[in-house]
Amino acid sequence: MSSVIFRLCPTGCLGSCSRVNLVLESETRTRSAHEDRLVSGLDLWPVGLVFTMLGGGQEQKQQKCADMLRNNNVVARIFQRQIQTPPPGTSVHCARRFYENLVPSFTIYDVECPDHSFRKFTDDGQYLISFSRNHQDLIVYRPTWLSYSYKQEDCHLPSRAKRFDSFFTQLYCVPLASSNEVICKDFFLYVITNQFGLFATSTAQIHDAPAIGGAIQGVPSIERITFHLLRLEDGVILDEKVFRNDFINLAHNMGVFLYDDLLAVVSLRYQTIYILQIRESGNLVDVRAIGAFCREDDELFLNSNMADKSKLHQSSGNHVNNGVHSNQPNSDNSFLSGIKQRLLSFIFQGIWSEETDKFQVGYLAFQFHVLISNSITLSEGPVLEEEILFPFSRLCRLDYLEGEVQFLDRHHLLIKFGSVDGGVSRSADHHASFFAVYNMETTEIVAFYQNSADELYLLFEQFCDHFYAMSRNSSYMNFISSHSNNIHALEQLRSIKYKASSLSQFVKKMLTSLPFSCQSLSPSPYFDQSLFRYDEKLISATDRHRPSTDHPIKFISRRQPHTLKFKIKPGPEAGSLDGRTKKVSSFLFHPFLPLALSIQQTLFLQPSVNIHFRG
């Protein structure tokens, strides 16, 4: 990027020269696209303007410049950026401080907009995703920014400026769902490298569906779940993937996780994790399935052994008088699933290496062999101590994939195990659960934790960013505040920890957020806790509905603790007429522009949409 800037002459300084020598020079800078968007257009005017503003003698100039630097206004920040070099690796963090001055300070209430269900901005800010109210069509908009400005709070914008199309341009409308399907409005994943969008449609749930074909009892069934891969540039459907008579938790992307070009889909009904790859050509390609089998040739190997055993039994049965043979293999119930065998083997090896009483270990090995071979529940024998029996007896009842999985990198998955009730009910927090780290290449369990493990909590507290598993190509997501990269978030977490009545319950509560839902956090700088402080009960970076109030949500400066930077007020400007009516709000912040949408929803009433922007 080539830019013409003003810079202080290297032969003089502001404090010693009787006059300031300015050198007008042209230089070529190389910045990331993210930095260009953050500070585009700000290089051309600052320092010349600064010294035009400074009149009087030498001492007056020095005093005015010092006062200006202390004020932290836009001019001062740009001036300081031109004469100082930020420490290595902090250039973007320093650039983000400009957002303390560039805030969405003006609101258009009850904007005239289409009756759509707005989902979110894409992580690169290029598109606004929305769905029709009947959940049949996808409508994509492009932010175009505003052509009007104002100077005072009571300034009246033209009626044209208060319309939705002053901020957004509709690109296209694509029908996604068929007559008996609806779009899952809480599901959307964005492939930033190719600008692909992944959407889902499904038929209605069948709650009392019979468990046939290896399905788990008690899990609902959906006749058809379809994933649609679209090119967002023009709305062309590139590929589709259909799951039939299955159940996948699509709410807030919980049952699906995207990492670079790899996609993990968890089938609750058949207890299988499907790994797919999104090719640059726009194809969804099956890579592997983890569940009953862990390797590609496991099923072939087991079937060949079953056939050999069947022939052996048939030949031995010819020597029996009544011609009846027993112990026929049952392909459905003879073995535990491959993923559960790996899990139990990992636990057994840990106990084997730690236990000194070989008699107990031998008895445990016998029980383990019976469990693996016949898939029966362990007996609560008096020989084994409770802590020895505990992992196996519990896992016999908690052998259920809860429908939540995430990538830690391209080879490792974090998988949550629990009960059937915990996987399909909304009160899953009260059910016991376990976490396992699974290596897809070696098909081994490399770590195992209970949901109350202090060791896992310490990893979660100190290395929270590693659990987010951000795409390498998504620079915006690298600056989301967490308690492992932000001192203010860490202090808030420790405050909650100290106030907790029970440490174990606190650990369980914190670990319920694992595995993280994919792309569920907004990268907007206005949620950066090093810049702003706000009430997280009313608004946060997490993609969730929040209880709505008639009072505006205040964003306070972190660097100046008593300075109000801006306010966000959802709903009508005068507030609701009935204060007893329950209202919820959702907030859609642009990834880098001072632009946000607030949508307040009230039962039986039309949603109220406000646009917040920099005037």
> What is the C-alpha separation between 526 and 594, in angstroms, rounded?
8
Q: What is the pTM of this model?
A: 0.79
Complete DSSP assignment for 188-212? -EEETTTTEEEEEEE--EETT----
DSSP reduced 3-state for 410: coil
Please give the structure tokens belonging to residue 175: 């029908």
DSSP reduced 3-state for 587: strand
Name the band, by pLDDT with cuts 50, 70 and 90, for residue 25: very low
HEC string of 425-487 equals CCCHHHCCEEEEEEECCCCEEEEEEECCCHHHHHHHHHCHHHHHCCCCCCCHHHHCCCCCCCH
pLDDT above 80: residue 68: no
> What is the C-alpha separation between 597 and 201, in angstroms, rounded?
25
pLDDT tens for each residue of 113-123: 898 999 999 99
Name the band, by pLDDT with cuts 50, 70 and 90, for residue 154: low
pLDDT above 70: residue 206: yes
pLDDT tens for each residue of 257-305: 999 999 999 999 988 999 999 999 999 999 999 988 888 777 776 777 6
User: Average pLDDT of the chain?
Assistant: 77
pLDDT at 458: 92
pLDDT tens for each residue of 81-120: 888 888 887 787 888 888 998 899 889 898 988 989 999 9
pLDDT at 83: 83
Residue in the block written with tokens 């949901």: 451
pLDDT above 60: residue 429: no
Q: What is the dihedral of CA 484, 487, 493, 496, to 10 degrees?
A: 170
pLDDT at 362: 65
Please, are residues 257 and 407 in contact by the beta-carbon 8 Å criterion? yes
Higher-confidence residue of 333 and 513: namely 513
pLDDT above 90: residue 465: no
Q: In this predicted structure, which of 198-207, 474-483, 506-515 has the lowest mean pLDDT?
A: 474-483
pLDDT at 284: 95
Please, are residues 79 and 46 in contact by the beta-carbon 8 Å criterion? yes
Please give the structure tokens belonging to residue 356: 């000194």
